[in-house]
Structure 1
Amino acid sequence: MSGADKRDDIVRAALELIAEHGFHGAPMAMIAERAGVAAGTIYRYFENKDVLIKELYGALEKKMYPFILEGYSNEAPFRARFLHLGSAMLRFFIENPLDFRYLEQFHNSPYGVAFRRDKLMGKAGGCDVFRELFEQGIKQQVLKDFPVVIFFDLAFGSLVALARDHILGFVQLDETLINRVVEACWDAVKR
């Protein structure tokens, strides 16, 4: 097995175990066992568990953003861009339930709190399309007069909860229902 294959197996095992058991319930030894490698092998690729957790989040973000941005145009009307981002994000979560469960673990942990704070303040790298859209909407007075963080909660907090309910089998979302829900989120934030 090549080094890249071992690394991929470690990342996949970490994703599965953390999504299933949380960060504390997925020790490095368990990750190694699931990946089929010796415990010391993990440390060839990741200095420690914190590095593994952060790199895994970065990999998921790199996977998610191209999906969300496919077909997205900065030239489209504001409402259309909002609807595109909301429905694409919800579809990504539904189509990638393991990734979603990991992202939820991350965002509700000390790792995610620090990352989210930096993202909201524009200090983190990566894709800032959501924050940029909200800032533009506030400036153009298309959106209600709230701080940016409230738009994340009003607009996308409900989509995250809905994705969770879909994955748990409490509701079955189809394309029509996804579009209706994202429209309702738009109604919550538009002026």
Structure 2
Amino acid sequence: MEKQLPPGQFETEKWPILHEGDVYEFDEATWDFRLFGEVKNETSLSFAEVMKLPKTISTIDMHCVTRWSKFATTFEGIAMRELVNLVELNEGVKYVKIYGYYNGDRFGYSANLPLEALLGNDALFVYRWKDQHHEWQDISPKHGYPLRFIPPASFYLWKGAKWASGIRFMKEDEAGFWEEFGYSMTANPFKEERYR
């Protein structure tokens, strides 16, 4: 597929590091991943349990609202649908909020997304990556180790959560971390939906 640069973006071959707050220090003994909200069976997974889930390898373009785009980064991770399959959703669930650590709060960062858009091979909780300049390697702590959500290319990258810690299933859409500061709820880079 031919790469498509969204309006207002420039291409980079580097993977820039941008984040708010402290870099989370992973401790497997205390880490877990929570599935909650509009579900019949809230679930909490250890890191070992997450890593036993089926894996997906996918090449995903990334578009950051700060105007850089990086094409053709290949990730390995757990597809959103594998986590959805672990819970029974209540009727009417259409949205999720994906959480990540922020300054010591495991649910301090969040990003809201429509669930239906996240059920393919391009919505991954990733732990390793490669590109044309790098062989397979773990994502670094500054990039979100041990688990980072990478959204499909139809969303700006702030919809991905570093240091991912859980998914809340919702019937109604609800602003996440950056959306509360006036960023777009839908965040489509090809429509240049940066702000509300």
Point out the structure with the larger helix share.
1
Q: TM-score, normalised by structure 2?
A: 0.23
Q: TM-score, normalised by structure 1?
A: 0.24
Q: Which has the larger radius of gyration?
A: 1
